[in-house]
A and B are shown apart, each in its own frame.
Chain A
Amino acid sequence: MAFVKKEITHARPAPLSERSVIGWMHKHLFSSFYNSILTIVTLYIIYITTKGLWVWGIADAVWIAESRRECFDISIDGACWAGVIAWMDNIFYGRYPKDELWRVNVGILLLIVWMLPLWLPRVKGKIFIAITLISFYPFLANYIFLGGESSFFSQFMVSAAIVSFVVIMLNAIIGVIQGQSISTFIATRLGSSLKSEKSQRNLNLALLIITFIIAFLWQQSWVLGEVPWTKWGGLFLTLVISGIGIATALPGGIILALGRRSKLPVIKVLSTTFIEVFRSVPLITVLFMATTMFPLFLPEGFVLNKLAQVIIAVCLFNAAYMAETVRGGLQTIPKGQYEGAHTIGLGYWGTMGLIVMPQALKNMIPNIVGNFISILKGTTLVSIIGLFDILGMLSSVSRDLSWIGLHKEPLLFGAMIFFILCALMSKYSRHLEAKLSTNRKT
């Protein structure tokens, strides 16, 4: 019964049914008689619903009108988008003064441009970008959005933000063109006069100080009228609250999760209590507590505005949720990874920061982004305690005398905005997962 193979079997392409569109349809949509019927019925249901939506939302809709009355006169069955268009500025910016809207745009644009180099592979010094973004941008944004008199400290931080922004932009441009960081670029341009690392560092420091002084003098001439937070609203306010919530949730969650797994009993008990208390209470309760009870705990005469209280509440609440997500991620890391790290001499922070956290966070990307999405959606609850975020603004449309009773259209518009924002986030998370995956075989 001996058998010895003599020729090699060559690989052949897969049969047509696996590769063509018709093959795919045959396999997935019309594989049997009942499946074919199911497909046709489903298509018919989709047709009916989208047709209704199409006729109401687009075909019969009114785009230009002065009031809801006028909308009805033109088309009784169509959507009245004119109302949404008339309220567009309010939906995006709340009651922020019309002449100052550019400040909101500039602030958000600065944030985007600041982060942009993080995605450019040739740019060096990404940690610097992230650190300055977290430590200086909030002050710059605060000044741009709020305006008014600014303290010396705020001026100092604003100047630091300007300097970092300029450095990051130059660094990004040089990085894209030359593939170098800005300091090596300066050093190579000046050539042999700067041999030692120390003189190079001194030069960089001197350049930084000079730009800082220029920036400081320059920003002193800025005059921005004060826009109190009560005028903030719409999508802008939603993004401010959820943006801060998102930015603090992950670091806060990491600290709490590590605290909960700590071997030190005091830290462990404190973290666990914090997490469990916040997780056992709905966000709306936390918000009410923050605005009514929080001031009781503050020293006499120290008044925090409602927005700050809400932001603190959102941050604490979401950090507690994120902590459990991160803890789940930490549990996916096998014990061997800790032991491997210990045997090369890494201590607790080295093991956590270099070995365990990067892997745990990577495993947790879908959950973390899911958390971010729920933070964004969850902030709409602030409309209940009287802040005019996007939901507050959308429901205000129906109380405008000209557009009285107009509910459906603004809410549908809001739903579309949320859908776009959330879809972008989850799309990016899937991209990130694919990019960071190291298990693939080449």
Chain B
Amino acid sequence: MKSNTPMDNNAAEEKLVSAASSEVIINIEKVNKWYDDFHVLKDIDLVVKKGERIVVCGPSGSGKSTLIRCINNLEEHQEGSIVVDGITLNKNLKNIDHIRTEVGMVFQNFNLFPHLSILDNLMLGPIWVRKMPKAEARATALEYLERVKIPEQADKFPGQLSGGQQQRVAIARSLCMNPKIMLFDEPTSALDPEMIKEVLDVMVELAETGMTMIVVTHEMNFAKTIADRVIFMDEGDIVEENEPLQFFNNPQHDRTKLFLSQIL
């Protein structure tokens, strides 16, 4: 565990109040997925409420990234159903495009567009997908850059920014599309220890606004602070699922115990 994030000290006291409502926003039922012959997701069931914050953890190859990538169809599932915001994910390209505009995603490697300035990275989606007028898109972009605390970098290119700054830009880029759900795929795994905090801070602030979030991460203190639920996956199965305090202090499954003893 990287222990120099200041959150360690008093994370438990700062536990955010849950924003979960009773409205279901993601409903995953009996989802199976194979990469060729390899069974990556096995009968996954997961219901996410609006405003709920879920942290997914597990060893590498356990299918946690694949699971969240199925939610916006970056990966196709072969069996089962995924319903996002009332829309069923199927072969219909219109549905997929629509769901993608409602679901923001942040990657381990940022995936910013290196040929565009920071501002253009942020304005691209609103202008081309949302058909927003340029001036309005610009104002929105600047507002979100302000929120992730790097307004002064607006005219630079991604290659000129540090990893932490790039990841914050990536978060702002997703937020510019005004999504209902945010997916985070190991957002701090490619960052230097000193930069992890600045990204996690932005994510905590985002959680405070009541955004529905699914975060794949190994930052356990972060999980304790924001998660309503922690999901532990192994070999394509959801092995254990609990609220964070119970999950960390009183794990039930042997595999979970082993995993927690390895990383804590």
Q: Are B115 and A358 in contact (CB under 8 A)?
A: yes
Asked if B104 is an interface residue, CB under 8 A from chain A, the answer is yes
Asked if B72 is an interface residue, CB under 8 A from chain A, the answer is yes
Interface centre among A339, A358, A442 (most CB of B within 10 A): A339
Bound complex: CA A407 to CA B11 (Å): 88
Bound complex: CA A341 to CA B174 (Å): 11
Cβ-defined partner of A336 (8 Å) among B111, B156, B159:
B111
Asked if A399 is an interface residue, CB under 8 A from chain B, the answer is no
Q: Are A441 and B159 in contact (CB under 8 A)?
A: yes
- Residues in A whose Cβ lies below 8 Å from that of B111: 336-337, 339-340
Asked if A359 is an interface residue, CB under 8 A from chain B, the answer is yes
- Residues in A whose Cβ lies below 8 Å from that of B100: 342-345
Q: Are A343 and B113 in contact (CB under 8 A)?
A: no
Residue of A at shortest CB range from B98? A345
With contacts A340-B107, A344-B124 taken as known, whether A350 is within 8 angstroms of B115 at the C-beta atoms is no
With contacts A342-B74, A346-B125, A347-B93 taken as known, whether A359 is within 8 angstroms of B114 at the C-beta atoms is yes
Residue of A at shortest CB range from B112? A340
Interface centre among B103, B124, B177 (most CB of A within 10 A): B124
- Residues in B whose Cβ lies below 8 Å from that of A440: 159-160
Residue of B at shortest CB range from A359? B115
Asked if A404 is an interface residue, CB under 8 A from chain B, the answer is no
Asked if A280 is an interface residue, CB under 8 A from chain B, the answer is no
What is the 8 Å Cβ interface bit string for chain A, positions 318-362, against chain B (1 contact, 0 not)? 000000000000000000110111111111001000110011001
Asked if B5 is an interface residue, CB under 8 A from chain A, the answer is no
- Residues in B whose Cβ lies below 8 Å from that of A355: 113
Q: Are A439 and B74 in contact (CB under 8 A)?
A: no
What is the 8 Å Cβ interface bit string for chain B, positions 72-116, against chain A (1 contact, 0 not)? 101000000000000000000100010011011101010111110
Interface residues of A: mostly helix, strand, loop or mixed? Answer: helix
Bound complex: CA A354 to CA B113 (Å): 10
Cβ-defined partner of A441 (8 Å) among B160, B173, B174:
B160
Cβ-defined partner of A345 (8 Å) among B101, B109, B114, B156:
B101
- Residues in B whose Cβ lies below 8 Å from that of A341: 113
Least distance between A414 CB and chain B CB atoms (Å): 39
Bound complex: CA A339 to CA B111 (Å): 8
Least distance between A266 CB and chain B CB atoms (Å): 18
What is the 8 Å Cβ interface bit string for chain A, positions 295-321, against chain B (1 contact, 0 not)? 000000000000000000000000000
Asked if B132 is an interface residue, CB under 8 A from chain A, the answer is no
Asked if B157 is an interface residue, CB under 8 A from chain A, the answer is yes
Asked if B47 is an interface residue, CB under 8 A from chain A, the answer is no
Asked if A9 is an interface residue, CB under 8 A from chain B, the answer is no
Residue of B at shortest CB range from A348? B93
Asked if B38 is an interface residue, CB under 8 A from chain A, the answer is no
Bound complex: CA A362 to CA B128 (Å): 22
Bound complex: CA A396 to CA B179 (Å): 71
Asked if A438 is an interface residue, CB under 8 A from chain B, the answer is yes
Bound complex: CA A410 to CA B242 (Å): 86
Least distance between B172 CB and chain A CB atoms (Å): 12
Assign chain A's interface to a size class.
20 to 34
Bound complex: CA A439 to CA B157 (Å): 8
Asked if B139 is an interface residue, CB under 8 A from chain A, the answer is no
Least distance between A442 CB and chain B CB atoms (Å): 6
A-B contact count (CB 8 A): 71
Q: From residue 126 to 178 of chain B, which have CB atoms closer than 8 A to chain A?
A: 128-130, 156-160, 173-174, 177
- Residues in B whose Cβ lies below 8 Å from that of A337: 111, 113
With contacts A342-B100, A343-B72 taken as known, whether A442 is within 8 angstroms of B160 at the C-beta atoms is yes
Cβ-defined partner of B113 (8 Å) among A340, A342, A345:
A340
Bound complex: CA A439 to CA B159 (Å): 5
- Residues in B whose Cβ lies below 8 Å from that of A343: 72, 74, 100, 103-105, 174
Residue of B at shortest CB range from A355? B113
Least distance between B124 CB and chain A CB atoms (Å): 6
Residue of A at shortest CB range from B104? A343
- Residues in B whose Cβ lies below 8 Å from that of A442: 156, 160
Residue of A at shortest CB range from B157? A438
With contacts A339-B107, A342-B100, A345-B177 taken as known, whether A438 is within 8 angstroms of B114 at the C-beta atoms is yes
Least distance between B77 CB and chain A CB atoms (Å): 16
Q: Are B125 and A439 in contact (CB under 8 A)?
A: no
Residue of A at shortest CB range from B159? A439
- Residues in A whose Cβ lies below 8 Å from that of B160: 440-442
Residue of A at shortest CB range from B74? A339
Bound complex: CA A368 to CA B244 (Å): 56
Q: Are B124 and A354 in contact (CB under 8 A)?
A: yes
Least distance between B135 CB and chain A CB atoms (Å): 14
- Residues in A whose Cβ lies below 8 Å from that of B97: 345, 347
Least distance between B185 CB and chain A CB atoms (Å): 10
Q: Are B109 and A336 in contact (CB under 8 A)?
A: yes
Residue of B at shortest CB range from A358? B115
Q: Are A354 and B128 in contact (CB under 8 A)?
A: yes
Bound complex: CA A341 to CA B113 (Å): 8
Interface centre among A336, A345, A350, A440 (most CB of B within 10 A): A345
Bound complex: CA A336 to CA B69 (Å): 12
Q: Are A344 and B125 in contact (CB under 8 A)?
A: yes
Cβ-defined partner of B107 (8 Å) among A336, A354, A362:
A336
Bound complex: CA A438 to CA B100 (Å): 28
- Residues in A whose Cβ lies below 8 Å from that of B113: 337, 340-341, 355, 359
21 A-B Cβ contacts within 8 A? A336-B111, A337-B111, A337-B113, A339-B107, A342-B74, A343-B74, A343-B103, A343-B174, A344-B129, A344-B173, A344-B174, A346-B125, A346-B128, A354-B124, A359-B113, A362-B115, A438-B114, A438-B159, A439-B114, A439-B159, A441-B160
10 tightest Cβ-Cβ pairs between the two chains A and B: A340-B111, A344-B125, A345-B101, A345-B129, A343-B105, A336-B111, A438-B157, A439-B159, A345-B100, A359-B115
Besides the contacts A337-B113, A340-B112, A440-B160, what 19 more A-B pairs have beta carbons closer than 8 Å?
A: A336-B109, A336-B111, A340-B107, A343-B72, A343-B74, A343-B100, A343-B104, A343-B105, A343-B174, A344-B173, A344-B177, A345-B97, A345-B125, A346-B124, A347-B93, A438-B158, A439-B157, A440-B159, A442-B160
